[in-house]
Amino acid sequence: MILSEHLVRSDTDCRDYDTDWYRWTIGRLQQVFLMHHEQVQKYSSTLETLLFTGDIDSHILDVFNQFVALRA
C-alpha cells in the first residue's frame, strides 16, 4: 500500500510523515470507505485478514478500525 511506503520512507529519512499528500490520501481512503460502505462492510473480515493486518502501520489500521466501529 502506498501509504505504508510513505510512512516507512518518512521514518527512514527522518522526515515528518504528516504531509499534505498524506492527509489528502488518508482522507481519500476514508471517503472510499464511506462511498462504498456496503461493500466494505460486507467484506470487512476478508479485508482485515488480507490487507488490514497487524503488520500494517497503525495510522492506516486506525482508519479501517474506525470505519468498522461506525458500522458495528
The tens digit of pLDDT for each residue in 6-45 reads: 999 999 999 999 999 999 999 999 999 999 999 999 999 9
CA 68 to chain centre: 12
Per-residue confidence at 72, pLDDT binned at 50, 70, 90? confident
Q: Is the pLDDT of residue 49 over 90?
A: yes
- The pLDDT, as a whole number, for residue 1 is 78
DSSP-derived secondary structure for 17-40: S--HHHHHHHHHHHHHHHHTHHHH
Give pTM, 2 decimals.
0.85
Q: Is the pLDDT of residue 71 over 90?
A: no
